[in-house]
C-alpha cells in the first residue's frame, strides 16, 4: 500500500525545547494510532502534518505534496485540534455552516452536510444553542463534527475522545472504524492506551519527541526480546504443568502465584509455547480454568519501550 503521509527527518524545536526529533515515517491508509504520554510530541507531530507549524528540519508530504502553506489540500483533510476553543458567540449550526462555506460548497450542500455531521455527533437537538452554553462533551463532539463535515478522505484527530463520556467514546470509536471501512485514512492520537487499542492495531509510539516504534501492536510486542512474554495459567495441577515446562528451552522462567493460584510462565517464543499447551493439557489430564497474557497489550508494550 502506498503511503499517504510521509515525513523525512522531521524535527521541531520550540526555542530550546525539543518537540520532535528526526522522525521519518510513512503512514498508510487505514487507522493509525499515535500513542505517547503527555508532552511526548504527538500534538507537535499532528500540527506538522497538518501544516499548522513549520518543521525546523525535514519535510512532510501528503500524497507527494508539501504540506506547509498548501491550503488546497485541506479540501480533503479534516483536522480536529486538541485545544478547546471556538467562536463562542455562534451556535453549533452557524459554526459548522460557516466553516463549510470556506470549502466553497453550494448552500444546499452546506446545509445537508451540516445536518449529517450534527447527526453523526448527536448535536442536532442543540444546534441552535450558542457554543458558550455547550457542555465539555458537546464541545468535543462539535470539534469532531467540524473535522468530518466536509467529507474528507484524510481525518486527523488530536485526542478526539477527551471529555467524552463512555457512551460518547464508543460512538466515536465506532465512527472511526466505519470511516476506515469506507476507505478513508484516519490518524488519531491519544495518551489513553485502551482507546487506541479499541480502534486499531497499527500504532506509532512517540516519547520525548522520538518515534520509539511503529507497526502492529503484536508485531512490536514480539520484537521486544528483552522482555519475554508472560503467560498466566490457572489450572488444577500447576506443579505438574510446571514440571513439564522445564524441559523446553523457550520456557525461560516459571513462577507460582500463590495468591491467584496460577502459574506464571516466561517464554521468548509465544507461538511455540501456545502450540505446546493443548498437548500438555490433554496428555496430562490437566483441567484449565484460565489462560491470559498479562503483557500482550499496549500498556505493556508502551511500558517496556519507554523503559518503565
Partner 1 sequence: MTQSDTRKFSFFLQSAKDVFVFFFSLAKKVRKTKIFFFISFLPVFMAFVVKFSQIFSLARNIEGIYIFNNMIMMFYMQFLILILALFYGTSVSSEELEGKTLTYLTTRPVSKSAIIIGKYLAYTGLVIIMTTLGVVFSFLVLNLNELYELSLYKILLRDVAVLGLGLMCYTAFFTFVGTILKRSIMFGLVFSFGWENVIQYFPGSTQKFTIVHYLKSLLPSPSTGRFSFLLFRLEPSSTGNSVFMLFLITGVFLGLACILFTFKEYIMED
Partner 2 sequence: MTIKEKGYTHWDGELKDGRFPWWPITRFGIKLTFKRKFFKFLFALTLLPALVWLVGIYISERLEDFSFMVRGDQTDFLNVNPSYFNTYFTNDFLLFMMIMILVFCGAGLISDDLKHNALQLYFARPLKKQDYLFGKAAVIFFFLFILTLVPGLIFILMKLIFAGNFKFINSYPWLPLSIIVYSTLLTSFFALYTLLLSSVGKNRRYVAILIFGIYIFSDIFYGIFYGIFRSQYFSLLSIKVNLQQVGAVLFNQRTPQNVPWLYSLLIILGICVLSGLFLNKKVKGVEIIK
Q: In the chain, which ranges are continuous DSSP H helix?
A: 42-49, 92-101, 107-120, 136-148, 166-181, 193-199, 217-223, 238-245, 270-283, 298-305
State the binding partner of 253 from partner 1, partner 2, none, CB within 5 to 8 A by kind: none
State the binding partner of 132 from partner 1, partner 2, none, CB within 5 to 8 A by kind: partner 2
Tell the smallest beta-carbon distance from residue 293 to partner 1 (Å): 36
Tell the smallest beta-carbon distance from residue 202 to partner 1 (Å): 24
Tell the smallest beta-carbon distance from residue 99 to partner 2 (Å): 22
Among 186, 236, 188, smallest CA distance to 77 is for 186
Tell the smallest beta-carbon distance from residue 129 to partner 2 (Å): 10
What span, in angstroms and rounded, lies between the C-alpha atoms of 4 and 6?
7
* Binding test (CB under 8 A) with partner 1, winner from 24, 37, 65, 87: 87
Tell me which residues in 91-150 interact with partner 2 (CB under 8 A). Answer: 130, 132-133
* Packing angle of the helix pair 136-148, 166-181 (nearest 10 deg): 10
Question: Other C-beta atoms within 10 Å of 143: how many?
Answer: 25
Strands 31-35 and 202-207: parallel
* Binding map of partner 1 across residues 16-55, x = CB under 8 A, - = no contact: ---------------------------x------xxxxx-
Residue 262, CA distances (Å) to 104, 272, 290, 295, 308 in order: 63, 21, 9, 16, 25
Q: Give the interface with partner 1 as residue ranges (CB under 8 A).
A: 14, 43, 50-54, 69, 71-75, 77-79, 81-83, 85-87, 89-90, 94, 98-99, 101-104, 146
Q: Give the interface with partner 2 as residue ranges (CB under 8 A).
A: 130, 132-133
Amino acid at each position: 500500500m502506498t503511503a499517504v503521509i510521509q515525513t523525512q527527518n522531521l524535527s521541531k524545536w520550540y526555542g530550546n525545547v525539543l518537540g520532535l526529533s528526526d522522525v521519518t515515517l510513512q503512514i498508510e491508509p487505514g487507522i493509525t494510532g499515535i500513542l505517547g504520554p503527555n508532552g511526548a510530541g504527538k500534538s507537535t507531530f499532528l500540527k506538522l502534518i497538518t501544516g499548522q507549524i513549520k518543521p525546523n528540519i525535514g519535510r512532510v508530504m501528503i500524497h507527494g505534496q508539501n504540506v506547509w502553506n498548501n491550503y488546497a489540500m485541506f479540501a480533503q483533510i479534516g483536522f480536529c485540534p486538541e485545544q478547546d476553543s471556538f467562536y463562542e458567540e455562534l451556535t453549533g449550526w452557524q459554526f459548522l455552516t460557516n466553516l463549510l462555506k470556506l470549502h466553497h460548497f453550494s448552500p444546499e450542500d452546506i446545509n445537508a452536510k451540516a445536518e449529517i455531521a450534527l447527526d453523526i455527533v448527536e448535536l442536532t437537538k442543540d444546534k441552535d444553542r450558542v457554543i458558550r452554553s455547550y457542555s465539555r462533551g458537546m464541545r468535543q463532539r462539535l470539534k469532531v463534527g467540524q473535522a468530518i463535515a466536509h467529507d474528507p478522505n484524510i481525518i486527523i484527530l488530536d485526542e478526539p475522545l477527551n471529555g467524552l463520556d463512555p457512551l460518547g467514546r464508543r460512538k466515536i470509536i465506532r465512527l472511526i472504524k466505519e470511516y476506515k471501512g469506507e476507505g478513508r485514512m484516519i490518524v488519531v492520537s491519544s495518551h489513553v492506551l485502551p482507546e487506541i487499542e479499541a480502534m486499531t492495531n497499527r500504532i506509532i509510539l512517540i516519547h520525548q519527541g522520538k518515534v520509539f516504534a511503529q507497526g502492529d501492536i503484536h508485531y512490536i510486542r514480539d520484537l521486544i526480546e528483552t522482555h519475554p512474554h508472560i503467560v498466566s495459567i490457572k489450572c488444577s495441577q500447576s506443579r505438574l504443568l510446571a514440571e513439564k515446562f522445564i524441559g523446553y528451552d523457550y520456557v525461560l522462567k516459571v513462577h507460582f502465584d500463590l495468591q491467584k493460584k496460577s502459574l506464571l510462565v516466561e517464554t521468548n517464543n509465544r507461538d511455540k509455547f501456545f502450540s505446546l499447551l493443548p498437548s500438555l493439557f490433554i496428555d496430562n489430564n490437566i483441567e484449565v480454568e484460565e489462560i491470559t497474557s498479562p503483557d500482550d497489550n499496549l500498556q505493556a508494550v508502551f511500558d517496556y519501550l519507554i523503559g518503565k
